[in-house]
Chains A and B, each alone.
Chain A
Amino acid sequence: MPAIEVSGLRKAYGSLEAVRGVDFSIEEGEVFGLLGPNGAGKTTTVEILEGYRERDAGDVRVLGHDPKRPGPDFRERIGVVLQQSEMWPNLTVRETHAIFAGYYRAPRDVDEVVALVGLQEKANARIKSLSGGQKRRLDLGLALVGDPDLVFLDEPTTGFDPQARRAAWEMIRSLRSLGKTVLLTTHYLDEAEQLADRVAVMRAGQIVRIGTPSELTTTELQTEIRYRENGEEVLVQTGEPTRVLAELTAAAVARGEELEGLQVRRPTLEEVYLSLTAEEEGVEA
């Protein structure tokens, strides 16, 4: 049974259609990335799945529950990192974890979770003394302390410095090794590429592409081959990079020349993403 199944999901705020017919499903143990610019409808989608918002139309199943009317164990089995939340500033990291642990029937060991999110040295520090990155790690720890099967991470690394992001990525990867299902929203493309088994690109309330990061990058844009000839940059875009490259190199070898600055690269997810969202803009215009 998939952990999450969504079909025909729609949600409007007044005249603004935030989500306009979204379908996807997430398998158990999968890390799924919902990618898109601000205002694409990612957070609205996730908050419907978490049970915060009512949907206007569509079918939604989360761990077998309808989040609109969840059974009693629904909240035992999910962990949530909200896009923005603060905790009680005067409590310590450990105390806050212990409070959250008390809400669950079978919580994980508090000190273990504090260590898992890398806050063991801050366990007795008050929350108001934590840095922004440490506060996000606290949020992640609080989402994990109930030992959930499904974890929602809404832009978990927004505002992190590069080092903190790497550390957060390591933690999210460790969730996969714990067998958790993860739904991650992000507007960082490299983050989705690094972490997600599959990615859905959202734009203006709809999913415009869905697939593994490598599927998205191989099918969408042609491979680029670059080199310099007589001091001038040459760019070849092709869907058949093997053949084209063989011809180019064969010709160069036959001439006894070196292809200066030869580069072969696949488009990054970022380029795919930009082309997808640009394409969509074109449709709207």
Chain B
Amino acid sequence: MSAEAIRIGARRPARRLFFHQLRSEQLVFWRSREAAFFIFLFPLLLFVLLGSVYRGRIYGVPAPQFLLAGLIGYGCANTAFAGLAIQLVLRRENGILKRLRSTPLPPATYVGSLLVSTLIVFSLQTVALFLLGKALHDTPFPSDIASFIATIVIGAAVFAALGTATASVIRSAEGSSAVVNFILLPMAFLSGSFGPTLHYPAFLRAIGDVLPLKYFIDLVKAVYLHGHGIWTRPQDLAVLAAWGIGGVIFTKFKFGWEPRER
């Protein structure tokens, strides 16, 4: 077993390390009941609850489909933004990140595997939402699968960048979930994750109009509800790209691997 690992390791250490770390990240994620519940199951639960409230059609679309699109947006922000930010702060403050830095695991491999691990969780969650929608309300699956997958990957990348940026400014493990939810829940509400926003006061809609989640949900709606290709929505992609690049740059300058509190 270990002789085999050495032989493979000598041949392609970078790839081996990446998959080793990806497996480790998945083990860490699913082993934590809090993470599995609040990150993975919570959007599914909200879908069941909201699906029993909204009936009929919303803007000409069957209500369950409309909600499904909004909750995919919420799931994305919840998993890639909130979940990732909280996990990163906890690991930084516990000294796990600092400890890993003294091992031969390259920082880029660590970050890469963490992002792919987050994408896996979000993808499984999206599949679960569709299966739940099918079972409860007979909602359809996306017709343009390639565009839909691209949308999911872009959304996960943008919100992961914002998650790492937010983790960079949070100072303590205790406060991390409060800070993150203070951003997440209003953003999800203003961006239409939980239902239509047309009846919101204008100033609330104006705030929603600058937040990235609205553009992600618009993109999901275009691709899923209306069957448009992803490239028919360049304005949504541009806003998401701007937020994502901003998050990456901010992270690059502000993120630290060592505990802040001590």
Q: Is A105 touching B9 in the complex (CB atoms < 8 A)?
A: yes
Measured between beta carbons, the chain B residues less than 8 angstroms from A107 are 2, 5
Q: Which of A86, A88, A105 contacts B6 (CB 8 A)?
A: A105
Binds A, one of B91-99, B130-138, B185-193: B91-99
Measured between beta carbons, the chain A residues less than 8 angstroms from B201 are none
Distance to closest chain B CB from A275 (angstroms): 31
Binds A, one of B23-31, B78-86, B215-223: B23-31
Residue of B9, B21, B24, B262 with most chain A CB atoms under a 10 A cut-off = B24
Residue of B nearest to A73 (CB): B104
Q: Is B5 touching A76 in the complex (CB atoms < 8 A)?
A: no
CA distance A106 to B9 in the complex (A): 9
Measured between beta carbons, the chain A residues less than 8 angstroms from B99 are 80, 82, 85, 87, 142
Within A73-97, which residues are at the interface with B (CB < 8 Å)?
Answer: 75-76, 78, 80, 82, 84-91, 95
Measured between beta carbons, the chain A residues less than 8 angstroms from B98 are 52, 82, 85
CA distance A12 to B25 in the complex (A): 37
Q: Is A160's CB within 8 Å of the partner chain B? A: no
Determine the interface band of chain B, counting residues with CB < 8 A from chain A. Answer: 20 to 34
Within B33-57, which residues are at the interface with A (CB < 8 Å)?
Answer: 33
Distance to closest chain B CB from A122 (angstroms): 17
Q: Is B24 touching A106 in the complex (CB atoms < 8 A)?
A: no
Measured between beta carbons, the chain B residues less than 8 angstroms from A88 are 28, 31, 96
Q: Is A103's CB within 8 Å of the partner chain B? A: yes
Measured between beta carbons, the chain A residues less than 8 angstroms from B5 are 102, 107
Q: Which of B32, B104, B259 contacts A76 (CB 8 A)?
A: B104
Main secondary structure, interface of A, reads loop
CA distance A109 to B6 in the complex (A): 12
Within A103-119, which residues are at the interface with B (CB < 8 Å)?
Answer: 103-107, 109
Q: Is A95 touching B95 in the complex (CB atoms < 8 A)?
A: no
Residue-wise interface mask of A (47-62) relative to B, using a CB-CB cutoff of 8 A (1 in contact, 0 not): 0001110000000000
Measured between beta carbons, the chain B residues less than 8 angstroms from A235 are none
Q: Is A100's CB within 8 Å of the partner chain B? A: yes
CA distance A247 to B37 in the complex (A): 81
Q: Which of B2, B32, B104, B262 contacts A103 (CB 8 A)?
A: B104
CA distance A90 to B32 in the complex (A): 6
Q: Is B6 touching A102 in the complex (CB atoms < 8 A)?
A: no
Residue of B nearest to A86 (CB): B94
Q: Is B258 touching A52 in the complex (CB atoms < 8 A)?
A: yes
Q: Is A95 touching B27 in the complex (CB atoms < 8 A)?
A: yes
Q: Which of A85, A105, A106 contacts B96 (CB 8 A)?
A: A85
Q: Is A85 touching B95 in the complex (CB atoms < 8 A)?
A: yes
CA distance A130 to B13 in the complex (A): 33
Measured between beta carbons, the chain B residues less than 8 angstroms from A89 are 32
6 pairs of A and B residues whose beta carbons are closest in the complex: A85-B95, A86-B94, A102-B20, A90-B31, A80-B102, A103-B103
Interface CB pairs A-B, < 8 A, 29: A51-B102, A52-B258, A72-B104, A75-B104, A78-B102, A80-B102, A82-B98, A84-B95, A84-B262, A85-B99, A86-B94, A86-B95, A86-B96, A88-B28, A88-B31, A89-B32, A99-B20, A99-B24, A102-B21, A102-B24, A103-B20, A104-B104, A105-B10, A105-B13, A105-B104, A107-B2, A107-B5, A109-B2, A146-B103
Binding site for B on A (CB under 8 A): 50-52, 72, 75-76, 78, 80, 82, 84-91, 95, 99-100, 102-107, 109, 142, 146
